[in-house]
Structure 1
Amino acid sequence: MARIIVDDGAFETTITVAIIGGGAAGLCAALAATEAGAEVVVFERDALPQGSTSLSAGLIPAPGTKAQAEAGIADSPELFARDIQAKAHGDADQTVLDLVAAGAGPAIDWLAEAHGLAFTVIADFSYPGHSARRMHGLASRSGAELIDRLRAAVERADIPIMTEAHVTGLVVSGSGDLRGLEITRPDGSAERIGATAIVLACNGYGGNKALVAEHIPDLKDALYFGHPGNQGDAVLWGRGLGVELRHMSGHQGHGSVAHPHGILVSWAVIMEGGFQVNAEGRRFWNESQGYSEAALAVLGQPGGVAFDIFDARIAGIARQFEDFRRAEATGAVITAESPEALAQALKIEPQVILETLESVANLKSHGGIDTLGRDWSGLPQLESPYQAVRVTGALFHTQGGLAVDRSARVVKPDGSAIPNLFAAGGAAVGVSGPDASGYLSGNGLVTAVVLGRIAGTEAAGMVRNAARS
């Protein structure tokens, strides 16, 4: 359990910058702090740094990158900021939004040029809410590859990663100054380590059922598709330190997780002209709103399940994602040569499936907006063979967290900052506002990378200033 330890005693050892968490935020913070001249140690609770990053598609939205320029895509930080704020209904945290919009492009180019992460832009389809094609990914389009490449960059920089080192406490002095941390090993042994600066990069609270029930009660019983280590340590420490917590109900859901296989199915299968039906074979919502709000939409259907319906052309686009290839390999993707065969495979009345397919085909032909609010203009017709995946809704990660200033320092309700405490990624408030519908594709990873880079740089600067004073 994350705790605050009030103690003025000596430490066994003292380091300059301690980074708690070895996901994308923590590893980017480590690289940035090291480049800024600080001695860094990353503390990771698992035997291998993976975190929520490894479970994602590894895609980071960013405007004005060299990869975009090479693909002939026009974009800007201003347009990116407008897209984020529009999806968040005007409720995105303005401080973090400004940092993300300005810092995403430079962060992608930094990782590519300084650390060899060969990002390319997904240029063959658009994610909902993005006005430009700005999603950057590595070759496999997987979070596992992203975290592997970041970890390799950290290892090349000779930055130590202490694994199986669960940070269970922050140590503060009797006067309230942050002094260090406590780590607990798998055998129960504990060690106290002093730190000049601390970066919280330990993600959100999606794995803590009590916190989910408190802040996102509609998803308290939903499948959790994030890393089990996301127990809300940063939130609990923040409460103990009296800092400001913002948008705690904000989160990313997903309504396209293959069930019971537990494999993410790319939302490209929907945005390229596919759709969802419930167990009765009927459409039930406007799928173009986004995959985050799809979680509740799907969970609200009979049995909490739905079917993604698409075709071979769309499957060819989705196949660039490793998750989709894995779903095919495990038999989660059903192929049917006719509407009747599709109905039989899904155990749905053939007439209902036929009516639904005909309705969608007519809407596409006329470019109409249906009664659910989806605009079908410009979307190609589905052709046999049809394909389908049985899916459910899930909670992926939380978007609320600790309020930060422009230096990624954690702030209190009165606006004052804790001078040597920084937060990044899921530990900090995101840019999605308080609702699932505010989540724009990639919001989680972009805040991890951008805030991680800022937090690392600023923590190193704080250490230099402390050494001079």
Structure 2
Amino acid sequence: MNSRLGILLAALLVLVSATVLWAGGAEPLAKLHEGKAACADCHGKGKKVVVDDSEKGVNSRCVGCHGTLAELGGKSREEVNPHRSHLGDINCTTCHHGHTASWAYCLSCHAFDMKIPGGGAVATKAAATSRQAKRTDKADIVVIGAGAAGFTAAITAHDAGAKVIIIEKQPITGGNSMLAAGGMNAAETVYQKEKGIPDSVDLMYKDTMTGGGNLNDPALAMVLAKNSASSVDWLTRLGADLSDVGRMGGASVNRTHRPKGGAAVGAHITEVLRKNAAQRNIDIRINSKVVKILEDKKGRVIGVRVAGKHSGEYTIKAKAVIIAAGGFSANPERVAFYRPEYKGMTTSNQPGATGDGIELGNQAGGELKDMKEIQIHPTVAAGSRTLITEAVRGNGAILVNHEGKRFVNELTTRDKCSAAILAQKGQSAFLVFDEGVRKSLKQIDGYFHLNLVSQGGSVRDLAAAIKVPADALEASIASYNKAVDDKNDAEFKRPDLPRALRTAGYYAIEVKPGVHYTMGGLKITTGSEVLGKDGKVIPGLYAAGEGTGGVHGKNRLGGNSISQTITFGRIAGENAAKMAMGK
């Protein structure tokens, strides 16, 4: 009996010790490493402790001891693997902190029960890092923001011969682009031609203008459509796969390009852009925030003032600055200022989407456009910040209300679809699909992984799982299937009916609208130059991506965002390089 008790107590002690190490208790990682690693192992042997803002030195030592993210991910047996995610190859210090509480970056958007070593730590005093009182760096071009637009602008400018520095305030690169799911709209592409899909620049332009309520800047909308195919070609040359072509709301034909099998486009493109930036040795500084755009007495942009996490404030002198820092959907105060009716609504955006770049450009004299035009996306998983891509509907899913009835054309524009859902009981709906739709789109598997999906072996089983009337749900699916067979959705006028819902199992995700995209921002020319309040170009200042206004009007079509970031990122990079290089 005593021996058994001893074994039990020993096992309990091991379990408690492991739990303390994993959950961290009140001990930061520096304390947990005592006896296993010295300060010099992370910070070097110099008399002065030097930690660069991107924390490259510390991270290289983490990898040297513990292995790469891929290696750690391969060892994990957890249901949600934090070392193998859509965020890609990020720094260890994004989550793990030596002298303060560690925190899983995943929790910025998800509500996982995720423990982390040092997660309950109380901050300890670290050795003071060495800071230079007066530091000035030089570059031809500074790019603010490391999302798809920023990476694209930087790569384009670099390839034109410019020295480029990218500044990113977050601990990771990728921005909102990394979360983009549905695809990239483009007209007259090689992939459309291979599949026999008729499309034209004029039709994409017309769809974009119609979707935006004709409030778009026509010239910018035409630039988007006219350059879309060449942007797909550009990404393809960099190594991207955009060979799968589907359809999203508001499009007249299939023009939404994504990786083979329907995988999420954003994470794929972000990884391709990261890889190409690394191959070019482009200087990327994370944990760094631009606090001011500098101008000379004549109003010409001459650089930026940066606040680094470890280095403090310093100046970068540059001949041109490109603002590519995104929109402000994750800034609830600013959203509510422009649209009070959206106060308290969830967002699908990453935490860095707070509109800093727009504010910087405005402070430098830039004119703002369409700031009240804020898009709510109809299908954010209820109780979460996880966007359910429009491609699920595009591949055949339907929307039903809590009475089990269809109530809208699922491929109408996002503003109309959102309004229709908000008019239903509970201001939510169910996205319903079958095994056929699931197999048609690879990224749907991720929603199962996140436990967002209810399921049943039959339609009646699914109805019981989501608590809607079984007879009504069966009738709704039968009516939709007949519309597919007849190639005519007489009731809701859905234009594209790719497949019937007849293959068991049957699935549903409860969805609610959430703040997704801000159509407003800095006013620009077709050359991505920022316009001042006097209507004149601000010399040396460019902008691209979601932080600009005019491209989308009052509503953005799904698939047009990635297209915008790549096309206008290329234009901004090319024109900034020409100006900086004196060409």
2:493 to 367, 374, 391: 374
Task: Tell me by how many angstroms 1:268 deviates.
Answer: 3.6
After TM superposition, list the pairs within 5 Å mapping 1:50-449 onto structure 2. 50-57=174-181, 59-113=183-237, 115-122=238-245, 125-139=246-260, 140-187=263-310, 189-260=312-383, 262-291=385-414, 293-318=416-441, 320-321=442-443, 324-361=444-481, 363-364=483-484, 369=489, 373-375=492-494, 380-383=499-502, 384-434=504-554, 438-449=555-566
**More deviation, 31-40/65-74:** 65-74
Task: Tell me by how many angstroms 1:364 deviates.
Answer: 5.0
Task: Tell me by how many angstroms 1:110 deviates.
Answer: 1.8
Residues 133 and 369 of structure 1: is their aligned pair in 2 closer, same or farther, counting only changes over 3 Å?
closer
Q: Secondary structure at the match of 1:287?
A: coil
Residues 293 and 253 of structure 1: is their aligned pair in 2 closer, same or farther, counting only changes over 3 Å?
farther
Check the 8 A contact 1:295/1:395 in 2, yes or no. no
CA shift digits 1:37-61 (9 cap, x unpaired):
1111111112221100111116211
Structure 1 unaligned segments of length 5 or more: list them. Answer: 1-9
Check the 8 A contact 1:424/1:455 in 2, yes or no. yes
1:6 match:
none
Q: Aligned equivalents of 1:144 and 1:272: distance in 2?
A: 20
Q: Aligned equivalents of 2:214 and 2:289: distance in 1?
A: 37
Residues 292 and 155 of structure 1: is their aligned pair in 2 closer, same or farther, counting only changes over 3 Å?
farther
Check the 8 A contact 1:21/1:202 in 2, yes or no. yes
- TM-score, structure 2 as length reference: 0.71
Q: Secondary structure at the match of 2:579?
A: helix
Task: Tell me by how many angstroms 1:440 deviates.
Answer: 1.3
Q: Secondary structure at the match of 2:549?
A: coil
Instruction: Work out which of the two has the higher radius of gyration on C-alpha atoms and give 1 or 2.
Output: 2
Q: Secondary structure at the match of 1:426?
A: coil
One-letter identity of the residue aligned with 1:120:
S
Task: Tell me by how many angstroms 1:240 deviates.
Answer: 2.1
Q: Aligned equivalents of 1:248 and 1:147: distance in 2?
A: 27
Check the 8 A contact 1:253/1:294 in 2, yes or no. no
Task: Tell me by how many angstroms 1:460 deviates.
Answer: 0.6
- List structure 1 runs of 4+ shifted beyond 6 angstroms: none
Residues 262 and 405 of structure 1: is their aligned pair in 2 closer, same or farther, counting only changes over 3 Å?
closer
Q: Secondary structure at the match of 1:335?
A: strand
Check the 8 A contact 1:71/1:121 in 2, yes or no. no
1:46 to 142, 161, 170: 170
CA shift digits 1:330-373 (9 cap, x unpaired):
332222233332221011233443443454455556665555x4
Q: Aligned equivalents of 1:152 and 1:163: distance in 2?
A: 16
Q: Aligned equivalents of 1:145 and 1:368: distance in 2?
A: 35
Check the 8 A contact 2:339/2:372 in 1, yes or no. yes
One-letter identity of the residue aligned with 1:94:
P
One-letter identity of the residue aligned with 2:577:
A
Check the 8 A contact 1:431/1:443 in 2, yes or no. no
2:28 match:
none
Q: Aligned equivalents of 1:57 and 1:418: distance in 2?
A: 34
Task: Tell me by how many angstroms 1:188 deviates.
Answer: 7.8
1:5 match:
none
CA shift digits 1:222-273 (9 cap, x unpaired):
1111121111123222332332212222344322222335433333433444
One-letter identity of the residue aligned with 2:152:
C
Q: Aligned equivalents of 2:317 and 2:264: distance in 1?
A: 39
One-letter identity of the residue aligned with 1:104:
S
Q: Aligned equivalents of 1:355 and 1:366: distance in 2?
A: 16
Aligned length: 447
Residues 377 and 416 of structure 1: is their aligned pair in 2 closer, same or farther, counting only changes over 3 Å?
closer
Task: Tell me by how many angstroms 1:416 deviates.
Answer: 0.9
Q: Aligned equivalents of 2:395 and 2:167: distance in 1?
A: 41
Q: Secondary structure at the match of 2:241?
A: coil
Residues 225 and 365 of structure 1: is their aligned pair in 2 closer, same or farther, counting only changes over 3 Å?
same
Task: Tell me by how many angstroms 1:26 deviates.
Answer: 0.4
1:3 match:
none
One-letter identity of the residue aligned with 2:276:
A
One-letter identity of the residue aligned with 1:20:
I
Task: Tell me by how many angstroms 1:72 deviates.
Answer: 3.5
Residues 362 and 76 of structure 1: is their aligned pair in 2 closer, same or farther, counting only changes over 3 Å?
closer
Structure 2 unaligned segments of length 5 or more: list them. Answer: 1-133
Task: Tell me by how many angstroms 1:117 deviates.
Answer: 2.0
One-letter identity of the residue aligned with 2:222:
D
Q: Secondary structure at the match of 1:57?
A: coil
What is the RMSD computed on CA atoms of the aligned residues? 2.5
Question: Which structure's residues are more often strand, by fraction?
Answer: 1
Indicate the structure whose relative CO is greater, using CA pairs within 8 Å and at least 6 residues apart.
1
1:455 match:
572
